[in-house]
Every structure is written in structure tokens, then in C-alpha cells.
Amino acid sequence: MKNFELVKKNGNARLGKLITAHGVVNTPCFIPDATLAAVKTLSISDLHDINMEIILGNTYHLIIRPGMEIINNAGGLHKFMNWNGPILTDSGGFQVFSLGKIRKITEEGATFRDHLSGNKITLTPEKSIQIQKILGSDIMMTLDECVDANRDYKYFKKSVDMTLRWEERGLKEARNGKIGNNSGQQIFGIIQGGKFEDLRRYSLLKTTQMDFDGFAIGGVSVGESREDKYNVLSWIAPLMPADKPRYLMGLGYPEEIIEGVKRGIDIFDCVIPTRNARHGQLFTNLQLNSFEDYKYDILKIKNSKYKNDFSLVDETCDCYTCKNHTKAYLHHLLNINEILGMRLMTLHNLRFYMRLMERCREII
């Protein structure tokens, strides 16, 4: 089944449609984290209200809570959380590397202790796919090794080859005919190689020779400089298969997303809008005239200058928060640690990111 429709190009930037078993997503798109089967603070109807089309579940977190038995009994993640739109799940690899206590990586896979109970978990390329079949996500990610940006060329070279072998195993498991809680699952491969152009090109070549439904650029949110990130994007994004969706994992700030769109990326995800919202950091005053001419502001609502500021949060925004509440009110809600405050700010930041993507699509 064709899973990507290219509608229009503008330079390297692509306007398209990502087609999944749970609906079509307009690209370029941004995916918010629903780490533990909920976009923190928001209901499903809130997500619909801000035109959210797709969400991301974290395999590592969901293994631990609520656990696969419960999600399987529910009939998959869609039914468990009552979200009927597309879901992308990660492989668990990134969280293993960033959160797992004591981890050991071998050719077989990754063994680690979970951050809550300390229980030992082994995640292999096959196991990751088996879990994602139970989750029933629309897009599964293959297990890869995420490498700290500070490791040397030699380590990266070895790692890229192991990830390629893991990808073959993951792909084989995905295509083995066994169906979990979603018969229309896709699987994406991941291009690694750090900041090294030859390794990235090698990984791109080898990964795209495999029968994946889409391709992702991994390892750009683990410590690289912004220049390194943009270099990787410039080398790789335009060479990724034109007929398949292209996903940049784990980025980022609005300017990083714009730079990604410009270079031909279709899909983004990041914790920034939701996590920053809960800490009182709001993205405001979006002005995106072209991929070269854009600006926005960051408003730190806890700043005492907002205590008596009865203007709306962001005059340029159409979200519920901005249509109804003042900076002074949000400042007060954050000050008293009121849940409603975190929710109103999450809603705003995600709507900001949705508007950012809408503007990107208009420009293309």
C-alpha cells in the first residue's frame, strides 16, 4: 500500500500526505508525545480541538506502565486510550539509552534495568517489534543504537553496522506475517552515523536498500551542536527516497523544524512544546513569512512582570487559552501549581506548533 503522497515541492521542501491505517496526516507534520498513553494534561477532545492528527507512544515507558498485558487486553493502544487517529511508536531504543539504569548493549540487543522497579528488561530488535505489534501503532520504528554525540568515529562506525543488522532483524520480524492489534502497521528504518558525513551516507544507502515503509534520521537530539544537526539534514534529507515519508526524530525548537522542512523532512516529534509548557515557557507571536524570514518569542509566564499583565497570552493565536485568558491569570495558576495552568499552557504550545506546521504547508 502506498503510504505517502507527494502533493507539491518547493525547493527541497515537500507538501504531502502520510497515509496510515487510522487516517491521513497532512505533512510536514509535528507529533506530540503521548509517552504513557496520554499527551500530558490533555484530553482526546483537546487534541481534536487543536487539529492534532497523530500522536507518539513511547514503547519503553509503556512496557513498564501499564505493561503489555493490559494494553493487549484492551486491544491495543488506540483502544486503551480511546484515540482513533494515527499513532507512531518508537522502538524503545532512545529511552533505553537516555533513561535506562545500567544498560548493556550486545549484538543480541540491549539489556537494562527500568527506572522505576529496577527490573531487568532485554530489548532485541525482534522484541521491540513484537511489543509494537501489541501496541498496534500505525507506524513502528525499528530498534537502533542511539550513540552519544561525543563518542569517536570508530565507535560510530561499528555502531552503524550493528544498527543495520538490527534493522534487518526488525524488518524481518515486522514482515513475518504475525499480526498484532493493527493489521495495517508500517515500519520505518532509521539512519544513524552521528556527525560523520561518510557514515551517514553509508547508513542512508544501506538502510534505504531495505524494504522499509519510511525512513527516519536518528541521533540528532543527543548532544550534537546545531551546526552538526543542520549539516546532517543537508546531506541526508534530500537524498532520502522521494516516494517514502521522511521523519526527523526528536527535534525540536521551531527554527529547527523550519530548517528541517526546508531540507525535505515530512515528520517531526519533540517533547519541547509540552514539557516547556508545564514549566511555564510559552511560544508566542509566530511570524513565518518564508523559510528564511521567520521569528517568534518565548514568554516565561512565571516572570513577575506578568503578575499584573491583563493582556491575552498571545494575540496572534487562536487557541482556547489565548481566546479566554490573560497573562496575569496564567501567571497566578502557575504560581499556585494549579493543574489547569499546565493544561492551558500545553494546549497553547501545541497549537503554536500546529500553526507552525500549517504555515509551513501554506508556504510550500
CB of 64 to its own copies, least distance (A): 10
User: Among residues 33, 213, 266, 269, which one is catalytic?
Assistant: 269
CB of 58 to its own copies, least distance (A): 12
CA 206 to chain centre: 23
Q: Kindly tell me which of 230 and 329 has the beta carbon lying closer to its own copies.
A: 329
- Residue 351 is inside which H or E element, if any? helix 339-363
CB of 324 to its own copies, least distance (A): 5
Q: Kindly tell me which of 36 and 149 has the beta carbon lying closer to its own copies.
A: 36
State the cell numbers at 238.
534530500
User: Among residues 33, 46, 90, 314, which one is catalytic?
Assistant: 90
- Residue 217 is inside which H or E element, if any? strand 214-217
Give the C-alpha separation, 47 to 39, whole Å.
9
Residue written as cell 541526508? 236
Q: Is 90 a catalytic residue?
A: yes
Q: Kindly tell me which of 18 and 322 has the beta carbon lying closer to its own copies.
A: 322
Decide: 296 and 287 in contact? Cβ < 8 Å. Answer: yes
CB atoms within 10 A of CB 150: 10
What residues contact 275, with CB distance under 8 A and at least 6 apart? none
State the cell numbers at 156.
560510530
SS3 sequence of 90-136 = CCCHHHHHHCCEEEEECCCCEEEECCCCCCEEEECHHHHHHHHHHHC
CB of 61 to its own copies, least distance (A): 9
Name the residues that contact its own copies, by CB under 8 A: 36-45, 65-66, 69-70, 73-74, 80-82, 307-308, 310, 320, 324-326, 328-329, 332-333, 335-336, 338-344
State the cell numbers at 306.
506578568
CB of 328 to its own copies, least distance (A): 6
Q: Kindly tell me which of 49 and 228 has the beta carbon lying closer to its own copies.
A: 49
Q: Kindly tell me which of 43 and 287 has the beta carbon lying closer to its own copies.
A: 43
Q: Is 33 a catalytic residue?
A: no
What residues contact 31, with CB distance under 8 A and at least 6 apart? 54, 55, 56, 88, 267, 268, 269
What residues act catalytically?
90, 269
